[in-house]
Structure 1
Amino acid sequence: MAVSSILYILLLLSLSFRCSSSSSLNSGFSLSVEKPEDVILSQNGVFSAGFYLVGENAYVFSVWFTQNRTVIWTANRDQPVNGKRSSLSLLKTGNLVLSDAGQFNVWSTGTVSSLPTHLVLNNNGNLVLYENPIRGSKILWQSFDFPTDTLLPGQQLTRFTKLVSGRSETNQSSGFYRFLFDDNNILSLLYDGPDVSSKYWPSPWLLSWEAGRSTYNSSRIAVLDSIGGFSSTDKYNFTTSDYGALIQRRLKLDPDGNIRVYSLQNNLWKVTWQAISDSCIVHGICGANSTCIYDPKEGRKCLCLPGYRVKNHSDWSYGCEPKFQLSCDKNESTFFKLFDVELYGYDVVYVKNITFNDCKDDCLNDCDCKAFQYTMDQQGLFQCFTKRVMLNGHHSPSFEGATYLRLPRSLSSNVLFREEEEPTQENGNVCPVKLERAYTKRHVSSFVKFFLWFAVSIGVVEVLLIFTIWCSLITKQNSSRNQQGYNFLSPFGFKRFTYSELKQATKGFTEEIGRGSGGIVYKGVLGDQRIAAIKKLNNNIVGAKQEEGEFLAEVSIIGRLNHMNLIEMWGYCAEGKHRLLVYEYMGKGSLAENLKSNTLDWTKRYNIALGTARGLAYLHEECLEWILHCDIKPHNILLDSNYQPKVADFGLSKLQNRNDQNSKNFSVIRGTRGYMAPEWLFNLPVTSKVDVYSYGIVVLEMITGRSPTRMGTGTDEDEGANNGRLLTWVREKRKKTTSCSWVEQILDAAIVSEYGVEKRKMETLAKVAMECVEEDRDARPTMSQVVEMLQSQEDDAC
């Protein structure tokens, strides 16, 4: 009996010290990249975990299917480690650490435990770090909570997780596509490219209910089961073509931006379901200045637009670049008609019921306009969309219209559509990852080491002296150039101005066109004769952003925002203590000015409310950075020459963590009296619903003609409405009348006498406004829901 006990203990000890092809990794031990046999196997043998070669001398720690080495999870996909001296170690502190060449850590679980721990690969493919295996296991960390591009059956996609595609079929590093629940509780596919981001599935032009989705379940959970059924809390459900069979499956976000379910049949992965049939509708798939053609038999093909050439022969996501330079002279430009080609999104100007020549002139009058689309809507009215960036181009026979590409006259006669099909690598793959680092094993004597360090030290001192002198010369040159008005482009794509240049453009900051808590806005004329709005930030804003790097980081994010209902940034200045932002100039001024002058009829007011809602919905839900405006009021809603609204004064100091839905990062109350949500006054967590509330007040002001911040001059009832009690006055009107006639009682009498009443639109606006100003923030709709309500114009508006 004693002998058998001793043998049993020795067996346990041998298992605990063994790392090669074991079922677990115990605390105090490691897996080495230099030992291919150092692998953790699941008990059923289906899954393996270990180091996986992804390039020349480049390894990642991954979990894969043992049978065919298909990777399903990776720890360090964006930072491969070297093939020498790298290891995965389970420390006695409870932390699981991946080190690169034994020099620095590239990934860890960040876990802590004073008890014994062990790492186990479960039969479902979940890599789990357990604590205290003797008295019952507690999970410290698991890979199912941090998916990369794949979901396995039973693995949930939640509000806290997302799938990120690989860069290509041969490069597992993070790509441009995301599969996640958006802020509207909808399971979505998102393109997050180098310059822009946009949602493309479900179709962005469809309302949620039109796409068969539900926004009401906020738990946000989606899961694929073991027999091929998929269910989601937004009511998106499907079954695979082999539903019912108990075989290995995986759901993957592929590098082409499509979600597919793969089933293992005869040791081969077969596609048994996919979200998108036409892969050309995936945003960014062919990059900028290109068009995508899809054939069910031949697959997808990317082509440069006429006059453009491919940027990177190994990766189409870089798109195409022009072989010409456009002139601002109208007479030097012509247009090339592209049949059945649509460039979706990123419209600069949208005008309805317009002639072709007027649409063409709108593009010619904009030096940066590269193309325009001229189409017919369902009511038979022609629409014009002008483009400064050409993205998401695809060939669609169902597209009712044409795209007109702006080209120099000298080039157009030599350009033919699809003139060249430039070769790329198969599947558009990027080059594989290469880490080339030398490791020497020769022994070097102490004397040689000392001599080498001494020589290196002398060399470093010399280099530092040369660098110091060189920097001094460069600084003097830059200072001289700045004094002479030297301009250059920032790394973010828009212009970096000098302070003296903007001072000259504004004639010494003399023509003030607006001011707010953030600073004063001046009208200016830039060197290229464009009229601009130049905002000089106040000292309190500058003080918070003294570090130029932090200021530029936030400016770069604002510059990436691209929406037809957001004011466009043209450039900035960060020089010494000066911080200025340069925006496009809006000829019709602010909504506040137009309300005061009584120049807006009901249709214009309705369209302004809809456009403003679209801009805010983009800030809250569509761009990657979660941006709260915090000061929605008529002064911050600007109107272009066609009375299209653009939200201004957003961005700086308002960037928030999208996952932090109960942000308390605001140290002071923000906003304008009369438009502020109750959360500010009662020190409640600040969310995007503060903007919804302010938006509702603005809509009520547009309907009633009464400002929530101004004293009235009429009856006592008028005085009460304007003296900070606009909302109370409207609620009392609605309470006294049970029918829709209460809306007519609150309408601006001056507008009614001049333009009449558009009852249905006003009832819709009133209904939306009252929902937005609910005291309970959870009862208020999101801005995307506001857009849906305004677009639908439901008959039962009351």
Structure 2
Amino acid sequence: MAILLLLALPLLLYSPSLSSASDSLTKGSSLLVENTNDLLISPSGTFIAGFFPVGDNAYCFAIWFDEPFCSNNCTIVWMANRDQPVNGKRSALSLLKSGNLILTDAGRITVWATDTVSESSVYLQLQESGNLVLNNSEGDILWQSFDFPTNTLLLLQPLSKDKQLVSSRSQTNYSSGFYKLLFDNDNVLHLLFASPSITSLYWPDPELLVFEAKRSTYNNSRRAYFDPLGNFSSSDKFFSKSADYGANFQRRLTIDSDGNLRLYSREDKRDAWTVSWQAISQPCIIHGICGPNSVCNYVPSSGRNCSCLRGFKMKDVTDWSLGCEPEIKLCSTNETNFLRLTHVQFYGYDYGFYPNYTLDRCKEVCSQRCDCPGFQFRFSKHGNPNNTPYCFVKFRLLNGYRSPSFEDDFYLKVPITIPLYPAPVEESRLHCAVEITKLDRVYTKIPENRTLKFLLWFASIVGAIEFTDCKPDVEGNYDKTQMKILVGVALKCANEDKDTRPTMRQVVEMLLQYEKHNSESVEFTIE
């Protein structure tokens, strides 16, 4: 046993403060990415906070619902560093003595911080509501995760002015996506599509006036939340009830990667989440879902699919949000035709609006413009006189979708070599990448701790001497298996590459092998 203590002593002197699963983190302590038990658990065990794997050797500090066997597919409700994951080694969440909570990468670079300061004692606690709160000794809240939501609202968590929900990039990519839930300057709660090049509102219906959408601009409090019964309401007079209204369920409100806002519920953590309400019932209405120069088509039996327009091809076969690109530049020739697409509409991006224009005149206007890919043509049933023709000349083709309810037609400009008969709508298919893209990071190697190295070598030498002195066999030899175990432990602990050194748990397991072998050996009497 003396050998065990000698080998473990330097490791205990070197190891940082060890953490285990609890609901709080105190000043001066840390959660380490290597320690799988370094977790914060809410008092009743509904939520867990810790390092969550998001890629190859990439981790984010997150909060998720406790679910049996969820592994890497847990229901994430909040992330601190969703757009800047940290390394799977030497990264830590630390509550400094200054009162600041920081997340550091392997190179000791601060990736995320609360930027808080407190002279009194502070502690970080994961509450049963799923709110991660930094309090001081007086009970004041210095920082809380409810004020910085990612893509999900929890029960009674308010979405207020200057706050927003941002979707994930995809179901497996947790970084920030292109869809947002926020209050606009008109005090109305909106869903927004915001890609690097295009921004547009799509909920409530942008073709409706505010009062037609049953909203109000006369309240500047800008606050939205959902209650335990399943009511979702906001200060602009929007109100909805979940399909399971009144039931005592776990609930979450999430803006998904497809741009829809959904209220999920379940009775128990072992149950699957079910959609009890969603903002948009027709998924093709969501802007950007199929990208430019494409058409979204929804079939109840098979769901949503995307297809490129005639004369276009997918820009990236793995991502429909990038849309399609032209196979032939129309401006390279003056010989063009117009392909009629029935029940198809492209919302927005009109170069001009021309009332009382005939179809031939619309074609003439579009033909004269190199940047005109087509035009929408309709007869207004509310004009004066009735059935007045309207022409909407486009300069970009975005938010295209097909619906039997559309009575107007779209005329697509195509080269004269393309036939004008209707083309079948091909179902969209995505091609998965063969290779995994790894995240590149450069880290500065921490200087070797020579004192620790000396202590480890010293412990191994003392252990070897004690073993040969106190465990002689009948012929004056020593047990080679026991000696091999002890020396192996010492050599691994003294490795110059700190990343390859065993953890405390691994050291204990190796030393227990020595104890097991010792107990099974023949007992000798020391004279």
Deviations 1:237-296 (A, max 9, x none): 111111111111000000111000000245210101111001000000000000000122
Is 2:105–2:111's contact at 8 Å kept on the other side of the alignment? yes
> Which 10-residue stretch deviates more, 60-69 or 140-149?
60-69
SS of corresponding position for 1:327: helix
* Structure 1 Cα separation of the partners of residues 213 and 175 of structure 2: 32
Q: Of 409, 412, 423, which aligns to 2:416?
A: 409
Is 2:30–2:95's contact at 8 Å kept on the other side of the alignment? yes
Matched residue, 2:24: 24
The TM-score normalised by the length of structure 1 is 0.51
More helix by share: 1
Instruction: Give 1:86 deviation, angstroms.
Output: 0.8
Matched residue, 2:167: 165
AA paired with 2:54? V
* Structure 1 Cα separation of the partners of residues 284 and 153 of structure 2: 24
Instruction: Give 1:91 deviation, angstroms.
Output: 0.8
* Structure 2 Cα separation of the partners of residues 168 and 306 of structure 1: 28
* Structure 1 Cα separation of the partners of residues 449 and 280 of structure 2: 64
SS of corresponding position for 1:363: helix
1:399 pairs with 2:406: yes
* Structure 2 Cα separation of the partners of residues 294 and 233 of structure 1: 32
What is the 5 A alignment of 1:487-636? none
Is 1:340–1:401's contact at 8 Å kept on the other side of the alignment? yes
1:334 pairs with 2:340: no
Instruction: Give 1:75 deviation, angstroms.
Output: 0.6
Matched residue, 1:366: 369
SS of corresponding position for 1:114: coil
Deviations 1:704-725 (A, max 9, x none): xxxxxxxxxxxxxxxxxxxxxx
Deviations 1:662-710 (A, max 9, x none): xxxxxxxxxxxxxxxxxxxxxxxxxxxxxxxxxxxxxxxxxxxxxxxxx
Q: Of 405, 423, 430, which aligns to 2:429?
A: 423
Matched residue, 1:347: 350
Q: Which runs of 5+ in 2 are unaligned?
A: 1-15, 451-527
* Structure 1 Cα separation of the partners of residues 283 and 325 of structure 2: 23
What is the 5 A alignment of 1:48-63? 48-63=48-63
* Structure 1 Cα separation of the partners of residues 240 and 369 of structure 2: 47
Is 1:306–1:416's contact at 8 Å kept on the other side of the alignment? no
Aligned CA distance change for structure 1 residues 444 and 151 (closer, same or farther; 3 Å): closer
Q: Of 380, 383, 394, which aligns to 1:387?
A: 394
SS of corresponding position for 1:268: coil
Q: Of 304, 313, 318, which aligns to 2:317?
A: 313
Is 1:327–1:333's contact at 8 Å kept on the other side of the alignment? no
What is the 5 A alignment of 1:421-460? 421=427, 423-424=429-430, 434-437=438-441
Q: Of 61, 76, 79, which aligns to 2:81?
A: 76
* Structure 1 Cα separation of the partners of residues 347 and 369 of structure 2: 19
Instruction: Give 1:375 deviation, angstroms.
Output: 1.0
Is 2:232–2:239's contact at 8 Å kept on the other side of the alignment? yes
Between the aligned residues of both structures, percent identity stands at 50
Aligned CA distance change for structure 1 residues 24 and 283 (closer, same or farther; 3 Å): same
Matched residue, 1:92: 97
Matched residue, 1:191: 193
AA paired with 1:316? W
Deviations 1:24-63 (A, max 9, x none): 1111111111111110011111000001001111111100
Matched residue, 1:223: 225
1:298 pairs with 2:305: no
Instruction: Give 1:18 deviation, angstroms.
Output: 5.1
SS of corresponding position for 2:363: helix
Instruction: Output the aligned Cα RMSD.
Output: 2.4
Is 1:285–1:392's contact at 8 Å kept on the other side of the alignment? yes
Is 1:191–1:200's contact at 8 Å kept on the other side of the alignment? yes
SS of corresponding position for 2:94: strand
* Structure 2 Cα separation of the partners of residues 341 and 354 of structure 1: 20
Is 2:248–2:267's contact at 8 Å kept on the other side of the alignment? no
* Structure 2 Cα separation of the partners of residues 50 and 244 of structure 1: 32
Matched residue, 2:45: 45
Is 1:129–1:140's contact at 8 Å kept on the other side of the alignment? yes
Matched residue, 2:480: none
SS of corresponding position for 1:361: helix
Q: State the number of aligned residues.
A: 424
Aligned CA distance change for structure 1 residues 432 and 297 (closer, same or farther; 3 Å): farther
Aligned CA distance change for structure 1 residues 342 and 432 (closer, same or farther; 3 Å): farther
AA paired with 2:388? L
1:258 pairs with 2:266: no
SS of corresponding position for 1:434: coil
Instruction: Give 1:393 deviation, angstroms.
Output: 0.4
Matched residue, 1:137: 139
The TM-score normalised by the length of structure 2 is 0.77
Deviations 1:556-605 (A, max 9, x none): xxxxxxxxxxxxxxxxxxxxxxxxxxxxxxxxxxxxxxxxxxxxxxxxxx
* Structure 2 Cα separation of the partners of residues 40 and 192 of structure 1: 34
* Structure 2 Cα separation of the partners of residues 300 and 234 of structure 1: 31
SS of corresponding position for 2:331: coil
Aligned CA distance change for structure 1 residues 87 and 386 (closer, same or farther; 3 Å): same
What is the 5 A alignment of 1:117-136? 117-132=122-137, 136=138
Is 2:338–2:420's contact at 8 Å kept on the other side of the alignment? no
1:106 pairs with 2:108: no
1:174 pairs with 2:180: no
Aligned CA distance change for structure 1 residues 325 and 63 (closer, same or farther; 3 Å): same
Matched residue, 2:235: 233
SS of corresponding position for 1:366: coil
Instruction: Give 1:77 deviation, angstroms.
Output: 0.7
Aligned CA distance change for structure 1 residues 419 and 394 (closer, same or farther; 3 Å): closer
AA paired with 2:393? T
User: Which structure carries more relative contact order (alpha carbon 8 Å, separation 6+)?
Assistant: 2
